[in-house]
Amino acid sequence: MASLVLGIETSCDETAAAVLRRESDGRGHILSNLVLSQTQDHAPYGGVVPEIAARAHVSHLDGLIARAMSEAGLRFEDLDGVAATAGPGLLGGVIVGLTTAKAIALAHDKPLLAVNHLEGHALTARLLQPCAFPYLLLLISGGHTQFQIVAGVGRYRRLGTTIDDALGEAFDKVAKLLGLGYPGGPQVERQARAGDPRRFDFPRPLKGRRDCNFSFSGLKTAVRETVHGLGSLSPQDVADVCASFEAAVAETMADRLRMAVALFREAHPEVARPALIVAGGVAANLKLRSVFEEAAAAHGFDLIVPPAALCTDNAAMIAWAGAERLALGLTDDLAVAARARWPLDQNQPPAYGAGKLGAKA
Ligand code: KG4
Ligand code: ZN
């Protein structure tokens, strides 16, 4: 059966609301998709301040939901379900979104879908095109860096994760060190274009290891030491540091991808041509994009990178994960609690430092 679902996202510094329809054959249609970024509110502090984020969600969410519903041409009575991020993320913000969803669900007698934000990222590709389970997911955002085998809705196996910083976080820290703005990823990428990737020989963390975990703190330290050693930086120095950092990341990602595709093949020899899905803000990086393209081509995977607006935090992905869960009857009780931590693969032990509280998901 087709379903109309409202999605709400408030787990970090974006207030977002979206409405979509999932057809009975599994196709998705976005009817509205609104994101209000709080970047300006947090910029003076150099990072996301949880209390400011939660208050901003309270101020903006109701109005944003009203706009999303009106753009979709629907009333709450028309909905088949109300989905909201229930974690992981900044608890104050998650509570704002989840409580709002509960209120709408209760008032209009609709099913509630308490969505794992990471499941939103993991399932987005299926909103845009048919994409059969199982597939390999690489999630690279400001808060997460992980490989997952997505075997089905609610069925995940983590192949690797970061043991310290997330990849987006590493880009942001390098940008900060060089006095470039926040978020740093796009600035580092722009600078790198004019730089020499061979000038600095930064480490390639965990290269050659027989797993597909990540570690970026040693690389970050090496960049910091180089920058301090240079003293005052010329524009060429900045460009060369960025290009050399990006080259180290690209080589590391190529190495980790080799391991991940091998582990996927081992786990699912029956899948002739699997998909490799890359999600999260760092997927926008063109140098890394070429690494993913090469790896996919070399190992017989179809690369799918959802468009940036659906790759970075948004509510359409939450509505979609909710619609997928609704289609399977996986609805939630109104008593469900918000969770600061919520790994997709509950069977894996947490990696030290990964999915830090307060980090973006
Ligand atoms: O997925 P996202 O929008 O937010 C969450 O973290 O959930 O990802 C944001 C991260 C930031 O760390 C940002 O610096 C990074 O993605 N990023 C990039 C690029 N664009 C965004 N990193 C490298 N190259 C880019 N072009
Ligand atoms: Zn996210």
The pLDDT assigned to 361 comes to 54
What is the model's pLDDT at position 39? 77
- The per-residue pLDDT for 359 is 46
pLDDT at 234 over 50: yes
* Residues 285 and 317 both lie in one domain: no
> Going edge to edge, which strands form the sheet with 81-87?
28-37, 14-22, 3-9, 81-87, 112-116
- Verify that 157 and 285 share a domain, yes or no: yes
> Is 361 in contact with 161 (CB distance < 8 Å)?
no
Cβ of 13 below 6 Å from ligand 1: no
Do 117 and 139 fall into the same domain?
A: no
Q: Which residue CA neighbors atom 19 of ligand 1 most closely?
A: 185
Q: Which pLDDT score, from 0 to 100, does residue 181 have? A: 81
Dist. CA 164–CA 142, nearest whole Å:
12
> Which residue has a Cα nearest atom 22 of ligand 1?
185
Say if residue 231 is in the same domain as residue 114: no
**Spatial CA neighbour of 101 closest among 332, 326, 354, 329:** 332
90 within 8 A of 60, measured Cβ to Cβ: no
Tokens of 236: 């060429």
Atom of ligand 1 nearest to the CA of 182: 14
Band (218; pLDDT cuts 50, 70, 90): very high
pLDDT per residue over 6-46, tens digit each?
999 999 889 999 999 999 999 999 999 999 988 778 777 76
171-181 pLDDT tens trace: 999 999 999 98
Residue 360: inside a domain: no
CATH code of residue 86: 3.30.420.40
Same domain, 198 and 294: yes
Tell how strand 275-279 and strand 155-161 pair up. Answer: unpaired
pLDDT at 357 over 50: no
How many whole angstroms separate alpha carbon 346 and alpha carbon 339?
14
Choice between 183 and 317, residue whose per-residue pLDDT is larger: 317
Q: Ligand 1 within 6 A of 183 CB?
A: yes
Query: Is the per-residue pLDDT at 1 higher than 50?
Result: yes
Residues 192-199 have a mean pLDDT of: 98
Give the three-state DSSP class for 21: strand
Q: Are residues 238 and 116 both part of a single domain?
A: no
Tokens 């947090």 -> residue: 42
Q: Is the CB of 255 under 6 A from ligand 1?
A: no
**Same domain? 123 vs 164:** no
List, as one string, the DSSP characters of 22-86.
E-TTS-EEEEEEEEEE-HHHHGGGTS--HHHHHHHHHHHHHHHHHHHHHHHT--GGG-SEEEEEE
Q: What is the pLDDT of residues 86-130, one digit of tens each?
A: 999 999 999 999 999 999 999 999 999 999 999 999 999 999 999
Domain membership of residue 24 as a residue range: 3-128+312-342
Closest ligand 1 atom to the C-alpha of 143? 6
**What span, in angstroms and rounded, lies between the C-alpha atoms of 267 and 134?**
10
358 or 319: which carries more pLDDT confidence? 319
CA distances 305 to 129, 225, 229, 232, 283, Å, are: 11, 34, 38, 39, 7
Of the listed ranges 22-31, 59-68, 199-208, the one predicted with least confidence: 199-208
Q: What residue's CA is closest to ligand 1, atom 14? A: 185
pLDDT at position 211 over 50: yes
| Residues 160, 236 share a domain | yes
Instruction: Tell me how many degrees the CA angle 94-12-91 measures, rounded to the nearest 5.
Output: 35
189 in the same domain as 116: no
pLDDT for 47 beyond 80 = no
* CA-based radius of gyration for the chain: 20
CA distance 87 to 116: 5
With a cut of 50, say whether residue 351 has pLDDT above it. Answer: yes
Cα–Cα distance between 320 and 151 in angstroms, integer?
Answer: 17
pLDDT at 71: 98
Whole-number Å distance between alpha carbons of 240 and 170: 17
Instruction: Say how many Å lie between the CA of residue 313 and the centre of ligand 2.
Output: 5
User: Does position 356 have pLDDT exceeding 90, yes or no?
Assistant: no
In this prediction, residue 43 carries a pLDDT of 72
Q: How many CB atoms lie within 10 A of CB 217?
A: 16
Q: State yes or no: pLDDT of 78 exceeds 90.
A: yes
SS3 label, residue 195: coil
The count of structural domains within the chain is 2
Looking at the chain, the whole-number percentage of residues with pLDDT higher than 70 is: 96
Instruction: Examine residue 348 and state whether it is found in any structural domain, yes or no.
Output: no
- Residue 116 in domain: yes
| pLDDT given at position 87 | 96
Top mutation candidate among 282, 310, 318 for ligand 1, by most atoms within 8 Å of CB:
282
285-334 pLDDT, tens digit each = 999 999 999 999 999 999 999 998 998 899 999 999 999 999 999 999 99
Same domain, 64 and 86: yes
